[in-house]
Amino acid sequence: MIRDGYVARWLGRDFEAAPGADGEIRLYTPGPTDGFEELRPGRFRRIVPASEVEELRYVRTTCRWRGERFVIVGEHETWLRVEYVGGRAPVAESLGLERIDQGVWQAWAPATEIEDVREDVM
């Protein structure tokens, strides 16, 4: 599983999370869990006060592809969506990356070509 976003530890368990400006944390899980409401099939949510959360951190998954560092921002079957973090447009262009926005370069990469996958906690 590729993680890119907030993760909250609540009651000793990690959940995908979204902190709100209201001081509450939205916890998400793919399966039915006590106290969680179903938003749609495969997506359940529970809102808890931030004071109940044991730990809140931002996690992103990084890798190396074609000799350069990337953040993995998505996945589909045997492909990973990668975003270049090297900050050098000529390198991004030479890799054949798609320019998404100013300074943002992405591509779909075969998972078999991805190396040095690791989670970075911010």
Q: Are 114 and 80 in contact (CB under 8 A)?
A: yes
Nearest to 18 by CA among 9, 10, 29, 8: 8
pTM as predicted: 0.76
Across the chain, which distance is largest between two alpha carbons, in Å?
51
User: What pLDDT does 121 receive?
Assistant: 92
- Residue 72, pLDDT > 80, answer yes
Distance (Å, whole) CA 45 – CA 105: 32
Distance (Å, whole) CA 2 – CA 117: 10
User: What pLDDT does 122 receive?
Assistant: 85
Predicted confidence (pLDDT) per residue in 82-119, tens digit: 999 999 999 999 999 999 999 999 999 999 999 999 99
Predicted confidence (pLDDT) per residue in 3-43, tens digit: 889 999 999 999 999 999 999 999 999 999 999 999 999 99
Distance (Å, whole) CA 42 – CA 28: 10
Give the domain ranges of the chain. 4-58, 59-121
User: What pLDDT does 85 receive?
Assistant: 96
Predicted confidence (pLDDT) per residue in 34-63, tens digit: 999 999 999 999 999 999 999 999 999 999
